[in-house]
Chain A
Amino acid sequence: MTSLELSNVRKSYGQTAVLDGVSLNMEPKEFVAFLGPSGSGKSTLLRIIAGLETLDEGEVRLEGRRIDTLPPGERGVAMVFQHYALYPHMSVRENMSFGLRNAGMPRDEIEARVVQAAGVLEIEPHLDKKPGQLSGGQRQRVAIGRAIVKQPRLFLLDEPLSNLDAALRMRTRVELAQLRRRADAAFIIVTHDQAEAMTLADRIVVMNDRRIQQIGAPMEVYSRPANVFVARFVGSPAMTLLPATLVPGGDAFARIRLGDGSEVDTRVPRDGLPADGPLQLGLRPESVRVAADGTAQAEVELVERLGERTLVYGRLADGAAITAEDEGNSRIRLGDKVGLRIDGTAAHIFGPDGAGHHAAAG
């Protein structure tokens, strides 16, 4: 049985379309991340699932039951809001039990659930405090606790980590991963932080410009981006894209000529590529190494020393920007001319329509 099922969801505000035919099927207990820049429609999609927005067209089903016609409280979903959205005048205990009381649950069962969730989240000492007396991290746990006690079939997390500082963010990320293991429910997290999406999710739904750009496992999205947008958005620093042309003839794999005249042998099958039109060669920084015997030459514009490795931002002879990697103890300086060895086996090719072509799997 599937968990959440979105079929052909459309939404527009007046003339402005925000979601254009979105479909998605989630496995039971699956953890899915909606990843995309602001305005990509990812939050709107989450709010449609929660029932906080209506949809213009399409259906939302949860475990076979159609829920887009139900009020938010009857959908079997629980949401953790970006700004916590705790009730400021209620104690932590009342915050967590409010939903259960509205559902008419017996008092002793409410109390049992609240105490249990508070124990798991280590907020027992704060049960009788008001949200205003808690730190940001504690409030976040109360917000998570309020979702847990409802024992929903689907957790909706709306950028739950974006208000936390770096240390707390790491810790909460671990806690979300643990919660996910314990809970018998599916999860959706909305985020613009790819590290969050990559580490937490089973599958990432990359969204941009009202549409799903790609659905796939984190490494699949990273290593086989469906199009130029996904290639540039996922991965940090972003993938280098170089204008390129196909060198005619040769074997089954495409040979590519760059703007500065250098050529790269890829492992992308030649027959899948468009017959003509401008191409782009996609290179992750780790597949461009600084090397004296490199095939391409670049002038260094910026050096970032990250400790275990060094990122080198430079320009090829034709002015195209390229990002390369070097050893952690690199001695490269601004203005140096360096050779670059391009590893064609990990290169991607993007057609004139932006669609990605990748090395044959395996």
Chain B
Amino acid sequence: MNRTTRRYEGFLFVGPFLFLYAFLLIYPLILGIGISFHRADPFGGRLWVGLDNYARLLADPIFWQAVVNTFKLTLMIVPPLTILALALALALNRATRSAAIFRGIFFSSSVLSVTIVTLIWRFILTPDAGLIAKILHAMGRDPIPFLSDPHLTIPALAIATIWWCLGLPMMLVLAGLQQIPPDVYEAAALDGAGRWTTLWRITLPSIRRTLILVVMMQTAAQLQIFGQAQLLTAGGPSGASRPIVLLIYEIAFGRWELGYGAAAAELLFMLVLAVTLVQYWAVTRREAEA
């Protein structure tokens, strides 16, 4: 067999994946960039408008409201999610039967679809017959309008999201914790390190990479939050809880302004990319110093 055929042999193995990846991800991405320069509707009308869509977006207060909402949600979700995942993983990082059961319980919410998750949280949060409302009523208090008060919708969405997304970060942190050799902890015990010293000086530095991965993955994921907002609050009241993806959806598939929606999607893409790159830069810079 000559060298050239050998070289192409490898492509046979990655071929199927490359084809699907290109066809389902790269091609639509490029197509989307193309559409964003047009005024387009699904029925074939397509008119080149250059950067008009982008200019309109940047001048659109509704778009900026969605951007602010998205950042609020991400900031309210990612830090508590990471800390909770870490705390749970630390508590459940032992080889007992009860720890295994609790790991399963805390992970179980992750396998639910967003529809079920919002349904569950609707049962809890609805002011007329929800669980919290009933408890408050029993205590003689008025129900709290979680899903209609503009100050409460974003925290409510954040709580439901944290509950839903907790499983995977917890498992990642657990996997990171289990990579730490036990004799390192024994050495720390002989070095007279207490619980806090051990946590701060041994455990956390050892799982630093896992924690960074969790934060970066969750940030990228939560900047694209959609289903919970659509199903729980529909972005309301008057856009107070509408994140960017919901806005894109409404523009593209509610008002059928495909070009305008595609432009918003491209801006979101650049936003996620920029945030991820900034995080990556911050992490690698710190590593280079260390």
Q: Within 8 Å CB of A77, what residues of B?
A: 190
Q: Within 8 Å CB of B197, what residues of A?
A: 102
Q: Within 8 Å CB of B193, what residues of A?
A: 73, 98-99, 102
Q: Within 8 Å CB of A90, what residues of B?
A: 201, 205
Q: Given A81-B183, A83-B181, A83-B183 in contact, is the A71-B189 Cβ separation under 8 Å? A: yes
Residues of A within 8 A of B (CB): 50-52, 71-74, 77-79, 81-83, 85-90, 98-99, 102-103, 146
Q: Given A87-B202, A89-B206, A102-B197 in contact, is the A73-B187 Cβ separation under 8 Å? A: no
A173 to chain B, nearest CB (A): 22
Within 8 A of A (CB), among B185-231: 186-194, 197, 201-202, 205-206, 208
Name which residue of chain A comes closest to B192, CB basis.
A73
- Can you offer 28 A-B residue contacts whose CB atoms are under 8 A? A50-B186, A52-B186, A52-B189, A52-B190, A71-B189, A72-B186, A72-B189, A73-B190, A73-B192, A73-B193, A77-B190, A78-B190, A81-B183, A81-B187, A82-B183, A85-B187, A86-B184, A87-B184, A87-B201, A88-B184, A88-B206, A90-B205, A98-B188, A98-B191, A98-B193, A99-B191, A99-B192, A146-B187
The complex places the Cα of A73 from the Cα of B198 at a distance, in Å, of 13
Q: Within 8 Å CB of B194, what residues of A?
A: 102
Name which residue of chain B comes closest to A50, CB basis.
B190
The complex places the Cα of A73 from the Cα of B186 at a distance, in Å, of 10
The complex places the Cα of A90 from the Cα of B183 at a distance, in Å, of 15
Q: A50-B190, A86-B187 are in contact. List 10 more A-B contacts (CB 8 A).
A: A72-B190, A73-B192, A77-B190, A78-B190, A85-B181, A85-B186, A85-B187, A98-B201, A99-B191, A99-B192
Asked whether, in the complex, the Cβ of A102 is within 8 Å of the Cβ of B192, the reply is yes
A96 to chain B, nearest CB (A): 10
Name which residue of chain A comes closest to B197, CB basis.
A102
User: Could you say which interface size class chain B belongs to?
Assistant: 10 to 19
Q: Within 8 Å CB of B181, what residues of A?
A: 83, 85
Name which residue of chain A comes closest to B189, CB basis.
A72
Name which residue of chain A comes closest to B191, CB basis.
A99
B188 to chain A, nearest CB (A): 8
A52 to chain B, nearest CB (A): 5
Q: Within 8 Å CB of A78, what residues of B?
A: 190
Q: Within 8 Å CB of A99, what residues of B?
A: 190-193
Q: Given A73-B192, A83-B181, A98-B193 in contact, is the A89-B187 Cβ separation under 8 Å? A: no
B132 to chain A, nearest CB (A): 44
Q: Within 8 Å CB of A74, what residues of B?
A: 192
Q: Within 8 Å CB of B192, what residues of A?
A: 71-74, 99, 102-103
The complex places the Cα of A7 from the Cα of B205 at a distance, in Å, of 40
Q: Within 8 Å CB of A83, what residues of B?
A: 181, 183
The complex places the Cα of A81 from the Cα of B188 at a distance, in Å, of 12
Q: Given A98-B201, A102-B197 in contact, is the A85-B191 Cβ separation under 8 Å? A: no
Q: Within 8 Å CB of A72, what residues of B?
A: 186, 189-190, 192
Within 8 A of A (CB), among B63-107: none
Q: Within 8 Å CB of B188, what residues of A?
A: 87, 98
Q: Given A99-B192, A102-B191, A102-B197 in contact, is the A81-B186 Cβ separation under 8 Å? A: yes
Name which residue of chain A comes closest to B185, CB basis.
A85
Q: Within 8 Å CB of A51, what residues of B?
A: 189-190
8 Å CB contact of B187 from A71, A87, A103: A87
B205 to chain A, nearest CB (A): 4
Asked whether, in the complex, the Cβ of A85 is within 8 Å of the Cβ of B183, the reply is yes
Which of A86, A102, A146 has the most chain B CB atoms closer than 10 A to its own CB?
A102
Name which residue of chain A comes closest to B193, CB basis.
A102
Q: Given A73-B193, A98-B193 in contact, is the A85-B184 Cβ separation under 8 Å? A: yes
B196 to chain A, nearest CB (A): 11
Q: Within 8 Å CB of B208, what residues of A?
A: 89
Q: Which 6 A-B pairs have the closest CB atoms?
A: A73-B192, A99-B191, A85-B183, A85-B187, A89-B205, A102-B192
The complex places the Cα of A98 from the Cα of B187 at a distance, in Å, of 10
Name which residue of chain B comes closest to A78, CB basis.
B190
Name which residue of chain A comes closest to B184, CB basis.
A85
The complex places the Cα of A78 from the Cα of B191 at a distance, in Å, of 8
Name which residue of chain A comes closest to B186, CB basis.
A52
Q: Within 8 Å CB of B187, what residues of A?
A: 79, 81, 85-87, 146
B30 to chain A, nearest CB (A): 42
The complex places the Cα of A81 from the Cα of B202 at a distance, in Å, of 17
Q: Within 8 Å CB of A88, what residues of B?
A: 184, 206
Name which residue of chain A comes closest to B194, CB basis.
A102
A140 to chain B, nearest CB (A): 14
Q: Within 8 Å CB of A86, what residues of B?
A: 184, 187
Q: Within 8 Å CB of B190, what residues of A?
A: 50-52, 72-73, 77-79, 99
B184 to chain A, nearest CB (A): 5
The complex places the Cα of A72 from the Cα of B206 at a distance, in Å, of 22
B289 to chain A, nearest CB (A): 13
A185 to chain B, nearest CB (A): 15
Name which residue of chain B comes closest to A82, CB basis.
B183
